[in-house]
Amino acid sequence: MAISKTLIMSILYITLTLVLSSLAAAEDPDFYRYISPKSLGLKKKQLAHLHFYFHDINSGPKPTAVNIARAPTSNANTSFFGLLSMADDPLTVGPELGSKQIGKGQGLYGFADQNELGLVMLINMVFTEGKFNGSTLSLLGRNMILAAERELPIVGGSGVFRFARGYAHLRTNTLDTKTGNAVVEYNIYVFHY
């Protein structure tokens, strides 16, 4: 009698231990580990300076940015609060649209300020030339478009720009207040490997 009681207790104990350890394994699955930057081929961190012009064309036969949503109040509101646009804007080396194109600025910008002309920008800079061909930089920030100069964070990148961090300095080159067409000068300073 005493032996079988001990046996039952042992079986219970082993079963409980197995159940608990499998639960613990489920809570802490082995899905990560720490590796050396070298194992990803990451060498020296470097600072790149990119200079180009961003063409936002809202009117004419070939617009590069289109309104995709608006709040019922967006039109009447002088700050266009609630208006959202999708852009696929050419990036060129000079301020003229005909100058050499080095990529596109693709993404969303929305009027996010109820009182002033202030955009929230979520744009991927997609490069199509030279060393940066196929690489992207992701920009996310606040753009007060009537200010002489603006600074927007670069929050990441892909390809050559993996692990990128930095900022974009914006200056309006030309702005047509009737059409909204704008050419904006970008100076981007970005750390990458």
Ligand X SMILES: *[C@@H]1O[C@H](CO)[C@@H](O)[C@H](O)[C@H]1NC(C)=O
The residues of the shown chain that bind ligand X, judged by CB under 6 A, are 73, 77-79, 81, 114, 128-129, 133-134
Nearer to ligand X among residue 15 and residue 133 (C-beta): 133
Nearer to ligand X among residue 6 and residue 133 (C-beta): 133
Burial of residue 30 (CB within 10 Å: 0-12, 13-18, 19+) is exposed
Residue 59: both structure tokens together:
């009117």
Q: Which amino acid is at 23?
A: L
Min CB(112)–ligand X separation in Å: 12
Burial of residue 33 (CB within 10 Å: 0-12, 13-18, 19+) is exposed
Min CB(71)–ligand X separation in Å: 8
Q: Is 2 helix (H, G, I), strand (E, B) or coil?
A: helix
Nearer to ligand X among residue 21 and residue 128 (C-beta): 128
Nearer to ligand X among residue 73 and residue 179 (C-beta): 73
Min CB(76)–ligand X separation in Å: 7
What is the C-alpha to C-alpha distance for residues 32 and 116, in angstroms, rounded to an integer? 46
Min CB(114)–ligand X separation in Å: 4
What is the C-alpha to C-alpha distance for residues 161 and 137, in angstroms, rounded to an integer? 7
| Location of structure tokens 């000068």 | 185
Nearer to ligand X among residue 59 and residue 133 (C-beta): 133
Min CB(15)–ligand X separation in Å: 58
